[in-house]
Amino acid sequence: MLLEINGLTITGPAGTIVDGVGLTVAAGETVGLVGESGSGKSLTARAAIGLLPKGLRASGSIRVGGLEIAGTGERVLRGLRGRRVSLLMQDPFSMLNPLRTAGAHIAETTPGRATRETVARRLAEVGIDDPSVAGRYPFQLSGGMRQRVALAAALAGDPELLIADEPTTALDATTQHEILALLARVQADRGMGVLLITHDLRVAFALCDRVSVMYAGRVLEQGPGTSLAQTPAHPYTAGLLRALPSVEHTLERLIGIPGSVPSAAQVASECAFAARCEHASAECRASRPLLREIGSGRLTACVHDTIPRITAHDVATATLPTGSGAPLLVVDDLVKRYGTHTALGGVSLRVTAGETVGLVGESGSGKTTLARSLLGLVTPDQGRIELDGLDITRRRALTSQQRARVHRLVQCVFQDPSTSLNPVMTVGATLAEAAAQAEPEGRLAPGDLLELVGLPPAYATRRPKGLSGGERQRVAIARALAVRPSLLICDEPVASLDVSVQAHVLELLRRLGRELGTAMLFITHDLAVVRQIAVKTVVLFKGQVVEEGDTATVLDAPAHDYTRRLVTAVP
């Protein structure tokens, strides 16, 4: 065994965070660690490499290659990191120094003297055959290229064990597919063990030999990935699977798990999932269920023998509402260049009132540049943008009255809600400030806006830091809706959310589209998400529209080779 964790408990000033976790990783094996944010996945991984944040303390047994590291000093841990065990993080910017070249990062983690040939060989191992990349800085590389460089740096010390913490969460489908295939190939070549932390169940089941499901600081289920995917034995695992959006069906209702993850200290003497479980009984709350064996390699911490699970095929499919009347948004032959780079090379699209149009494509395809052009954050070089009959191509040319009208016509929901929520203002103050820009007739109070997005009016007194990620995104949506816009631009609004929270937010957006008649341009790299939200889909590739049409037709029978690659890349 490369990694053996037994009875791992992590405590901090607020009490227990991880409570009695056990897992193992053998040479040549990939083990997945899945669960919602706050379950303790990343802290468990960091404890395994001795990198817990200041103020947290780990107890129990952690053995790396047979060596007990729990309680050992920093000198011993430094000798392990990068040599026997290495860490690959979600955001390559957190691993890569912006002032150092890619080659310098790899040379730094390579034992002994690293030559140009050594660096080039390390880059080639992760699929970078251009030696000039070694001389580039992180900001000069694409997201996928940065992640490849971070992987090369993590592997430069020839570790026996790689801990990969959400390594593909922020990547588009094709780049994610390439990185995962690369990781599997490198692992096979080296016989390396991999501990993969992710909240993407599709990735875990596609890549991992075994999967451990964590919740509230505990492991609730363990087993082979394919077995867990087909027959989950714990209600929590079943709930996560049920929340997954389908790339093959537009589901009638997206079902997330109600509530949120409690702290380990709050549920120390009962089933951690009892408060959110529809199958909970008095027995579940009387004591803490221990992991028990239910089959070959299968363990569960549920007292019930069978758990019904709703799959995508058991849920009725839905027809999304189509728009009506003249187009609300008209984009004709839009061109935007940055120096010699053409971000948009003549893009045209239409969005009708009440209609949701999906915009998909990998990083660098021009999605965000198009959104910024529509919001007036950049000025196109050529083409025309018309919103509700008003030419908004060049915002500076508009009168103050026209700009105020455009502000009420179009709003945006960003991927990270912190970009639209002031951390020092209460939720109520933020919503009141936004609502003040709306027409006096029909203006909604903060409490009404919160109820519109499914939050209690009492949340108006809270600040963003007191909300979960999903709650912050709901507030960001409420803020965007405060002026009652005709068009909502959603730029990857669920990309960083857990699968259950994602289901809640998508269902909320679908309901708001039906009830308010708000049109949406929904930007995403997740084809399963676009299947659930958009009646039409536009595919961008290198600044060009290569395919568009009804979402079902585009995904089920793609006509362009690039669209086929996107569909094939879905795990």
pLDDT tier, 173 (very low <50, low <70, confident <90, very high otherwise) = confident
Q: How far apart are CA 199 and CA 221, in angstroms?
A: 15
Tens digits of per-residue pLDDT, 256-294?
A: 998 889 999 999 999 999 999 988 999 999 999 999 999
Find out whether 344 and 370 touch, Cβ atoms under 8 Å.
yes
Average pLDDT of the segment spanning 174-181: 81
Find out whether 509 and 490 touch, Cβ atoms under 8 Å.
yes
What does each C-alpha distance from 358 to 24, 81, 368, 478 come to in angstroms?
A: 42, 43, 13, 21
Strands 382-387 and 390-391: antiparallel
**∠ CA 100-101-106, rounded to 5°:** 100
* Options 3.10.129.10, 3.40.50.2300, 2.60.120.10, 3.40.50.300; CATH of 319-419+487-501+512-571: 3.40.50.300
Tokens 């709050």 -> residue: 266
Give the pTM. 0.87
Strands 327-338 and 356-360: unpaired
- Enumerate the domain spans of the chain: 3-84+159-231, 319-419+487-501+512-571, 425-485
Q: How far apart are CA 222 and CA 23, in angstroms?
A: 9
Through-space distance between the first and last CA atoms of the chain, rounded to whole angstroms: 28
Q: Which CATH class is domain 3-84+159-231?
A: alpha beta
Tens digits of per-residue pLDDT, 188-227?
A: 888 999 999 988 888 898 889 999 999 999 999 999 998 9
Q: How far apart are CA 161 and CA 230, in angstroms?
A: 28
User: Taking 90 as the threshold, does the pLDDT of residue 147 lie above it?
Assistant: no
User: Taking 90 as the threshold, does the pLDDT of residue 75 lie above it?
Assistant: no
Residue 310 pLDDT = 55
Tens digits of per-residue pLDDT, 489-501?
A: 999 898 878 889 8
pLDDT tier, 311 (very low <50, low <70, confident <90, very high otherwise) = low
Find out whether 307 and 235 touch, Cβ atoms under 8 Å.
yes
Q: Where are the beta strands (DSSP E) in 471-543?
A: 487-491, 519-524, 536-541
Find out whether 155 and 122 touch, Cβ atoms under 8 Å.
yes
| Residues of the chain above pLDDT 70, percent | 98
Average pLDDT of the segment spanning 73-89: 86
What 91-96 contacts at long range (C-beta under 8 Å, 24+ apart), as own/partner pairs, is: 91/170, 92/138, 92/143, 92/146, 92/147, 92/149, 92/150, 93/138, 93/146, 95/150, 95/153, 95/154, 96/138, 96/146, 96/149, 96/150, 96/153
Q: What are phi and psi of 349, to 5 degrees?
A: -160, 165
CB atoms within 10 A of CB 408: 15
User: Taking 60 as the threshold, does the pLDDT of residue 314 lie above it?
Assistant: no
Cα dihedral across residues 174, 177, 181, 186: positive or negative: positive
Token couple for 201? 């169940």
Residue 497 pLDDT = 84
Q: What is the DSSP letter of 542?
A: T
What does each C-alpha distance from 389 to 385, 386, 401, 487, 553 come to in angstroms?
A: 10, 6, 15, 13, 30
